[in-house]
């Protein structure tokens, strides 16, 4: 077997404190060459701080940052082989599009002809040829972020850092930009580290997702694995839209939920307290009397184009269960329904008995 | 915003206030063109004789040149030192930043008499002879906080992320300053510097304490007033007014020009509001 190639980015036990606040708590992470890795988490979870530590805008309180085998923990931002796309468009307002994109090359002392060629290539990459002479105020928000992307990519960074670059855009533009980012990633083969609080964006874009919570890594994995097999109730709730229900596992692959015995995944926990993770698209509703025995009342229905979303109140459970149905019969408000789900697609997570 | 009712009372008060402010100035300017030596009405006709008299006076020419030298030196040194101070204050993460900024602005509250007297004492103590150099130093003390107030407000308004983007693209601190920060704030800095020039050009009280044997324009007016009273005084005052006004206009245009933001240069009335609201001390947002 060939030895594992060096990771493009390696973070070793990175801890960062702002005064008394611990923003990052012993984070270790490897990003492989050419990978699209997303740091996902709610605001204030430390993901942006981590990105800024990789960029060199913050120096970690503890730990090391290694880029391509070289320890850059103490290297200032302007000498790191990484470039960043910021949350808000940060084009230099006194320069036109061409000079914005050329900024890094000019600083690096690249020859005039090469600057022209590479800026041209970069603008082609983001499909903004012909926009060279435009200024900030002549561009839309999406165009500005594409120029910012070109301005970073033109320097052929070892790692491209993206700090919620789409969060200021309208939904429609955001979806277009996601496709654009995936294409640029494919075409350039560059390593992308992307920060977002939008789990949908993370699932759509990434090769791997790193879920953050309160300065710690909760789970690292491919999008479908994180979605299907969340490592913690937090991940289950944050990635996708899960029902996380406190249950008791009983021998024979069943769980007790609201006084009823329901089938459970056999690879889960053999016995005792557990969390049952029910994805809304796994939950099936049917007319009462069809067999499962777990009954509830529809308390809310909303139409979502591809189907309906229901909130079903089940006696003995603190929160209604969310269900998404794409086919089958529709139900009305206050209808009594029976709930069922595929146990194999509904993982169990350990729970200490006193957790609610 | 809702338009308020026009009341005859408000209009009258406004008109009277404006009259009160500008009539004396208008009268001074008017009588600088008087054909006779009279300084009160009736006005007997126009002539440029007082301007001729003023311009032919060697003392006037010397005083003008001195004023120009002092004001230019003050403006240039203020521009350099003030920019450094403003940059430092706007980029510092130190806890001492706010108290330090307050200290810088303190001279705003000191009476000119006090500044003049204390500088005179200082210069005498350290045995520096009064000259145009001491006047320039005194003017620096006087105009520095004004420059800082305006330039700091502009620098505080700059988007930190733009400077980070510059650093991210490989520019060291100096290059970030030269290629990102300066292109956005230079009009404000030059505007604030011409404000410094204007303040220095017609400064009298502090100058009076520290000037020694030389003369500046305000000093010249004052000494002329003691000898004679004729429209040549008006002519000099009008010239002084013209220069000061011109500089204030330049400063205003550069600092507060409308729509500069579109061109990516910090400016606008909000800047003035922020400066007045003490944003310069408050720091970057």
Write the CATH number for B219: 1.10.3720.10
Q: Does residue A107 sit in the same domain as residue A221?
A: yes
DSSP assignment of A111-168 equals -HHHHHHHHHHHHHHTT-TT-TT--GGGS-HHHHHHHHHHHHHTT--SEEEEESTTTT
* Number of A–B residue contacts, CB under 8 Å: 78
Residue A238 in contact with residue A211, Cβ under 8 Å? Answer: yes
Give pLDDT tens digits for A43-67: 888 899 999 999 999 999 999 999 9
Q: Does residue A142 sit in the same domain as residue A212?
A: yes
Provide the pairing of β-strand A159-163 with A62-67: unpaired
- The radius of gyration of chain A's CA atoms, rounded to the nearest angstrom, is 24
Alpha-carbon distance of A246 to A318, in angstroms, equals 10
The beta strands (E) that lie in chain A are given as 9-18, 21-31, 36-40, 62-67, 70-71, 82-85, 159-163, 191-196, 208-213, 216-221, 243-250, 254-257, 260-263, 272-278, 284-286, 295-303, 308-313, 321-325, 336-340, 348-350
Give the CATH number for residue A293: 2.40.50.140
**Around A78, how many Cα atoms within 13 Å sit in the side-chain half-sphere?**
17
Q: Which residue has the higher pLDDT, B38 or A94?
A: A94
Nearest C-alpha in A relative to B266: A93
What total number of domains does chain B contain?
Answer: 1
pLDDT tier, A5 (very low <50, low <70, confident <90, very high otherwise): low
Query: Does A78 sit within 8 Å of B164, measured CB to CB?
Result: no
Nearest C-alpha in A relative to B185: A94
Q: Which of B170, B177, B268 to mutate: most A Cβ within 10 Å?
A: B170
What total number of domains does chain A contain?
Answer: 2
Q: Is B36 exposed, middle or buried (0-12, 13-18, 19+ CB in 10 A)?
A: middle
* Nearest-neighbour CA in chain A from B158: distance (Å): 11
Give pLDDT tens digits for B70-90: 999 999 999 999 999 999 888
ipTM value > 0.85: no
Give pLDDT tens digits for A288-320: 876 667 888 898 988 888 888 899 998 888 889
Say which residues have a Cβ less than 8 Å from residue B51's Cβ, sequence separation at least 6: B32, B235
pLDDT tier, B265 (very low <50, low <70, confident <90, very high otherwise): very low
Residue A202 in contact with residue A239, Cβ under 8 Å? Answer: yes
Residue A203: inside a domain, yes or no?
yes
Residues of chain B in contact with residue A56, where contact means CB-CB under 8 angstroms, are: 167-168
Q: Does residue A124 sit in the same domain as residue A72?
A: yes
Residue A4: inside a domain, yes or no?
no
Q: Which chain B residues have any C-beta within 8 angstroms of a chain A C-beta?
A: 159, 161-162, 164-172, 175-176, 179-180, 183-184, 261-265
Residue A160 in contact with residue A80, Cβ under 8 Å? Answer: no
Residue A118: inside a domain, yes or no?
yes
Q: Which of A19, A55, A99, A107 to mutate: most B Cβ within 10 Å?
A: A107
* Closest CA relative to residue A25, chosen from A234, A212, A195, A231: A212
Nearest residue, CB atoms, B167 vs list A77, A137, A155: A77
Alpha-carbon distance of A350 to A233, in angstroms, equals 9
* Closest CA relative to residue A346, chosen from A214, A229, A232: A229
Residues of chain A in contact with residue B263, where contact means CB-CB under 8 angstroms, are: 93-94, 135
Query: Does A93 sit within 8 Å of B184, measured CB to CB?
Result: yes
Domain end position, chosen among A199, A228, A257:
A228
- What percent of chain A is predicted at pLDDT more than 70? 96
Kindly report the pTM of this predicted structure.
0.79
Query: Does A83 sit within 8 Å of B167, measured CB to CB?
Result: no
Of A134-138, A272-276, A328-332, B189-193, the least confident:
A328-332
Q: Does residue A190 sit in the same domain as residue A251?
A: no
Question: What per-residue confidence (pLDDT) applies to A268?
Answer: 67
Domain end position, chosen among A206, A228, A250:
A228
Q: Does residue A248 sit in the same domain as residue A222?
A: no
- Length of chain A, in residues: 356
Q: How distant is the alpha carbon of residue B273 from its chain centre?
A: 18
* Nearest-neighbour CA in chain B from A83: distance (Å): 6
Query: Does A103 sit within 8 Å of B166, measured CB to CB?
Result: yes
- Tokens of residue A30, six digits: 């490897």
Residue B46: inside a domain, yes or no?
no
Alpha-carbon distance of A197 to A148, in angstroms, equals 20
The region, left, alpha or beta by phi > 0 then psi within -120 to 50, assigned to residue A46 is: left
Residue B79: inside a domain, yes or no?
yes
Residue A1: inside a domain, yes or no?
no
DSSP assignment of A204-249 equals HH-SEEEEEETTEEEEEE-HHHHHHS-SSHHHHHHSS--EEEEEEE
- What percent of chain A is predicted at pLDDT more than 90? 47
Alpha-carbon distance of A150 to A145, in angstroms, equals 9
Nearest C-alpha in B relative to A93: B264
Alpha-carbon distance of A230 to A221, in angstroms, equals 10
Q: Is A238 exposed, middle or buried (0-12, 13-18, 19+ CB in 10 A)?
A: buried
- Mean of the per-residue pLDDT values of chain A: 88
Q: Does residue A185 sit in the same domain as residue A311?
A: no
Question: What per-residue confidence (pLDDT) applies to A328?
Answer: 62
Give pLDDT tens digits for B55-74: 888 888 888 899 999 999 99
Residue A49 in contact with residue A23, Cβ under 8 Å? Answer: yes
DSSP A267: T
Nearest C-alpha in A relative to B171: A78
Q: Which domain holds residue A291?
A: 241-350
Nearest C-alpha in A relative to B182: A94
Q: How distant is the alpha carbon of residue B115 from its chain centre?
A: 17
Alpha-carbon distance of A37 to A190, in angstroms, equals 11
Of A119-128, B78-87, B209-218, the least confident:
B209-218
Alpha-carbon distance of B47 to B190, in angstroms, equals 37
Q: Which domain holds residue B120?
A: 59-282
Q: How distant is the alpha carbon of residue A220 from its chain centre?
A: 11
Domain end position, chosen among A164, A199, A228:
A228
User: Would the pLDDT of A174 be above 50?
Assistant: yes
Residue A341: inside a domain, yes or no?
yes
């Amino acid at each position: 077997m060939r030895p594992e190639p060096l990771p493009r980015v390696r973070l070793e036990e990175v801890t960062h404190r702002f005064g008394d606040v611990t923003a990052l708590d012993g984070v270790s992470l490897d990003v492989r060459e050419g990978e699209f890795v997303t740091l996902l988490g709610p605001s204030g979870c430390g993901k942006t701080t981590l990105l800024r530590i990789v960029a060199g805008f913050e120096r970690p309180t503890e730990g090391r940052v290694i880029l391509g085998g070289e320890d850059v923990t103490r290297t200032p931002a302007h000498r790191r082989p990484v470039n960043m796309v910021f949350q808000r468009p940060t084009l230099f307002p006194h320069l036109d599009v061409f000079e914005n994109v050329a900024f890094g090359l000019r600083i690096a002392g690249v020859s005039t002809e090469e600057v022209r060629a590479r800026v041209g290539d970069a603008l082609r990459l983001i499909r903004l040829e012909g926009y060279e002479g435009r200024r900030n105020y002549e561009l839309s928000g999406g165009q500005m972020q594409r120029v910012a992307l070109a301005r970073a990519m033109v320097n052929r960074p070892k790692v491209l850092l993206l700090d919620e670059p789409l969060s200021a855009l309208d939904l429609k533009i955001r979806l277009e930009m996601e496709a654009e980012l995936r294409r640029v990633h494919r075409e350039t083969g560059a390593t992308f580290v992307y920060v977002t609080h939008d789990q949908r964006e993370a699932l759509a874009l990434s090769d791997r997702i790193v879920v953050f919570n309160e300065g710690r890594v909760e789970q690292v994995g491919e999008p479908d694995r994180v979605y299907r097999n969340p490592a913690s109730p937090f991940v289950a709730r944050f990635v996708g839209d899960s029902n996380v229900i406190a249950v008791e596992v009983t021998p024979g692959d069943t769980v007790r939920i609201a006084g009823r015995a329901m089938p459970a995944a056999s690879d889960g926990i053999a016995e005792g307290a557990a969390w049952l993770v029910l994805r809304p698209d796994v939950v099936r509703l049917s007319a009462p009397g069809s067999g499962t025995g777990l009954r509830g009342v529809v308390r809310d229905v909303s139409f979502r184009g591809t189907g309906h979303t229901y909130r079903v109140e089940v006696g003995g459970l603190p929160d209604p269960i969310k269900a998404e149905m794409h086919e089958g019969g529709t139900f009305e408000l206050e209808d009594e329904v029976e709930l069922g789900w595929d146990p194999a697609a509904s993982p169990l997570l350990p729970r200490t008995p006193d957790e609610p | 915003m809702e338009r308020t009712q026009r009341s005859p009372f408000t209009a009258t008060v406004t008109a009277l206030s404006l009259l009160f402010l500008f009539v004396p100035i208008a009268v001074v300017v008017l009588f600088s063109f008087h054909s006779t030596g009279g300084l009160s009405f009736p006005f007997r006709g126009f002539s440029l004789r007082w301007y001729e008299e003023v311009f032919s006076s060697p003392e006037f020419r010397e005083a003008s040149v001195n004023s120009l030298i002092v004001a230019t030196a003050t403006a240039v040194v203020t521009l350099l030192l003030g920019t450094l101070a403003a940059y430092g204050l706007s980029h510092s993460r130190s806890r001492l930043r706010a108290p330090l900024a307050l200290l810088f602005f303190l001279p705003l509250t000191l009476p000119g008499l006090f500044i003049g007297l204390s500088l005179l004492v200082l210069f005498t103590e350290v045995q520096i002879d009064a000259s145009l150099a001491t006047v320039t130093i005194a003017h620096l003390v006087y105009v520095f906080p004004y420059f800082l107030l305006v330039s700091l407000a502009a620098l505080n308004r700059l988007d930190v992320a733009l400077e980070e983007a510059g650093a991210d693209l490989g520019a060291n601190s100096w290059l970030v300053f030269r290629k990102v920060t300066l292109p956005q704030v230079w009009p404000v800095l030059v505007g604030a510097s011409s404000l410094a020039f204007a303040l220095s050009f017609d400064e009298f009280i502090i100058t009076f304490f520290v000037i020694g044997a030389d003369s500046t324009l305000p000093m010249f007016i004052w000494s002329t007033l003691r000898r004679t009273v004729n429209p040549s005084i008006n002519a000099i005052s009008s010239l002084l007014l013209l220069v000061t006004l011109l500089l204030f206009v330049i400063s205003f245009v550069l600092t507060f020009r409308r729509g500069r933001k579109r061109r990516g240069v910090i400016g606008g009335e909000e800047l003035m509001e922020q400066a007045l609201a003490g944003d310069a001390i408050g720091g970057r947002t």
